């Protein structure tokens, strides 16, 4: 693993997410394709919380606080306990982008990192610092795909009675 490539992709993904969320109509910010699916607002709130309270924190503990338990998180519960649907879309986007810039600065400032440092999770087993870094990038890609799918589904609704089937799967 080349951590500089991962860090560079994380930085690039901040721009990708920013571009994907620029110009979103107010009606679309909270729109969901189904009751059990997330809106764009919920996705950006989640990304913001994950940036600060999950990946960065847990990587920091793994690298700099060996043996200490990771602080608890509840990403699916945060949707409700942190009132994602009551948040301001523009502010949450800015908060995420600011947190991502802080992340990139923090990652680039790390010196002599042992990416094999381990954390033993009581439920999921051993994670290395390298596992966390590459999982962070994969997490970005999964939510970029989710945002793209939200755009497709929303466009499908707006396009009625026309079909997007010619676009392929």
pLDDT for the residue 160 = 87
Q: What is the reported pLDDT for 169?
A: 78
Q: Mean pLDDT for each 10-residue chunk of the chain (169 residues)? A: 93 97 95 95 98 95 94 94 96 97 96 94 92 97 97 91 87
Q: What is the CATH number of domain 3-167?
A: 1.20.120.450
Q: How many CB atoms lie within 10 A of CB 15?
A: 11
Residue 13, phi-psi category: left (phi > 0), alpha (psi -120 to 50), beta (remainder): alpha
Closest CA to 93 of 19, 146, 7: 19
CA dist 139 and 136 (Å) reads 5
Report the Cα 20 to chain-centroid distance in Å.
13
pTM: 0.93
Can you give the residue ranges of every domain in the chain?
Answer: 3-167
Query: In whole angstroms, what is the distance from residue 40 CA to residue 151 CA?
Result: 9
């Amino acid at each position: 693993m080349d951590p500089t490539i991962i860090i560079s992709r994380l930085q690039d993904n901040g721009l990708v997410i920013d571009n994907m969320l620029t110009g979103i109509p107010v009606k679309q910010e909270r729109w969901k394709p189904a009751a059990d699916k997330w809106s764009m607002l919920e996705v950006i709130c989640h990304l913001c919380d994950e940036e600060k309270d999950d990946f960065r924190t847990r990587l920091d503990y793994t690298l700099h606080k060996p043996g200490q338990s990771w602080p608890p998180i509840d990403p699916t519960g945060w949707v409700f306990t942190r009132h994602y649907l009551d948040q301001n879309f523009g502010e949450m986007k800015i908060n995420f982008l600011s947190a991502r810039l802080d992340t990139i600065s923090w990652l680039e400032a790390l010196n002599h990192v042992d990416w094999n440092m381990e954390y033993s999770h009581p439920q999921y087993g051993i994670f290395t610092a390298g596992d966390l870094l590459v999982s962070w990038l994969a997490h970005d890609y999964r939510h970029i795909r989710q945002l793209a799918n939200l755009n497709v589904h929303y466009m499908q609704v707006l396009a009625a009675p026309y079909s997007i089937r010619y676009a392929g799967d």
